[in-house]
C-alpha cells in the first residue's frame, strides 16, 4: 500500500532561518502530493500541492518539487517567521488509492 | 461555501456513554473519511466511505461505527466510549471531479473520563 515518511520533529529555528522538511513516499503509479499545515487548535489546511513529476507547488513562500526519481516532496522556505510555527503534514492521494495517506507530521517552532 | 463542517467541536463523555459525531460537506464529494489524531501518531484512518450507502473499515475501526445515509453526511458513532478514545477527530472529503486535494473539517476534541 501507499506510505509517506517525513522527518520527525520538532524542528526549532530562529526567525529568518532556512527551512527544509523532508518527505518521501511509496506508491504505485503517479499520485498527487500535498503539504498540509495545522495551526494550534485548528484543522488541516492545504499549503501546496503538485500533481505530476517535476511540478513545483508554492504558497506563502513555501515550495516543494515533485521528484519522481527520488520519490520525494521536500518542503522548503527561505526565511521562516514566527507565524509559521505549526505542524506540517506530507500526504498523497492516488497511486491506486483514493484514501489520503499522511506522514506523521513535523512540528515547526520558530523563535523570534 | 462552507466546505466540511463537524459538530460538535468539543465534548466530554463518561466511560460507557454513547455519542455521534456529524460531518457534513457541501461540495458533492464522493469520498468521506474519519481520522483520529493522537500525539506522536499522526492521523489514523478510522472508517471511510466511497459513496452514499457504503462504508469501509480503516486502520483503527474498533469501537466505532459509521453511516452514510446521505451523500453529504458521514456520521461517526461511539456506542460505549472508553478513555482510549480520547482524541481529536477529523472528518475529510474528496471529490473525483472537483480537484485533487482532500478538504478537512475543524475537528472534534473528545475527552472520555
Mean pLDDT by 10 residues, chain B (113 residues): 89 97 96 93 94 96 97 97 97 83 94 97
Q: What is the pLDDT of residue B90?
A: 96
The verdict on a CB contact (< 8 Å) between B101 and A93 is yes
- Contacts of residue A81, Cβ cutoff 8 Å, sequence gap at least 6: A15, A16, A110
Residue numbers in B near A99 (CB within 8 A): 31, 33, 45, 48, 58
B48 touches chain A (CB under 8 A): yes
Q: What is the pLDDT of residue B99?
A: 61
B64 touches chain A (CB under 8 A): no
In order of A25, A72, B27, B43, B77, the CA distances from A6 in angstroms are 9, 10, 30, 13, 31
A95 touches chain B (CB under 8 A): no
Q: CA of A85 to nearest chain B CA: how many angstroms apart? A: 17
Which H, E and C letters describe chain B, residue by residue? CCCEEEECCEEEECCCCCEEEEEEECCCCCEEEEEEEECCCEEEEEEEEEECCEEEECCCCCCCEEECCCCCEEEEEECCCCHHHCEEEEEEEECCCCCCCCEECCCEEEEEC
Q: What is the pLDDT of residue B98?
A: 59
The verdict on a CB contact (< 8 Å) between A99 and B106 is no
pLDDT in tens, chain A (112 residues): 889 999 988 999 999 999 999 999 999 888 999 999 999 888 899 999 999 999 999 999 999 999 999 999 999 999 999 999 999 999 999 877 889 999 999 999 999 9
The verdict on a CB contact (< 8 Å) between B107 and A42 is yes
Amino acid at each position: 500500500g501507499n506510505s509517506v515518511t517525513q522527518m520527525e520533529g520538532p524542528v526549532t529555528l530562529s526567525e529568518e532561518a532556512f527551512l527544509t522538511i523532508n518527505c518521501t513516499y511509496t506508491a504505485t503509479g503517479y499520485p498527487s502530493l500535498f503539504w498540509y499545515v495545522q495551526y494550534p487548535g485548528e484543522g488541516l489546511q492545504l499549503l501546496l500541492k503538485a500533481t505530476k513529476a517535476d511540478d513545483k507547488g508554492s504558497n506563502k513562500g513555501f515550495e516543494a518539487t515533485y521528484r519522481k526519481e527520488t520519490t520525494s516532496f521536500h518542503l522548503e522556505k527561505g526565511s521562516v517567521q514566527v507565524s509559521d510555527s505549526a505542524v506540517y503534514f506530507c500526504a498523497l492521494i492516488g497511486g491506486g488509492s483514493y484514501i489520503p495517506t499522511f506522514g506523521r507530521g513535523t512540528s515547526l517552532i520558530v523563535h523570534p | 461555501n462552507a466546505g466540511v463542517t463537524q459538530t460538535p467541536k468539543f465534548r466530554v463523555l463518561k466511560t460507557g456513554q454513547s455519542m455521534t459525531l456529524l460531518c457534513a460537506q457541501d461540495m458533492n464529494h464522493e469520498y468521506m473519511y474519519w481520522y483520529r489524531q493522537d500525539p506522536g501518531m499522526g492521523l489514523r484512518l478510522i472508517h471511510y466511505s466511497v459513496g452514499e450507502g457504503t462504508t469501509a473499515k480503516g486502520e483503527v475501526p474498533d469501537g466505532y461505527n459509521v453511516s452514510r445515509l446521505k451523500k453529504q453526511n458521514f456520521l461517526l458513532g461511539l456506542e460505549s466510549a472508553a478513555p482510549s478514545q480520547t482524541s481529536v477527530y477529523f472528518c475529510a472529503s474528496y471529490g473525483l471531479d472537483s480537484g485533487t486535494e482532500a478538504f478537512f473539517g475543524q475537528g472534534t476534541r473528545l475527552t472520555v473520563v
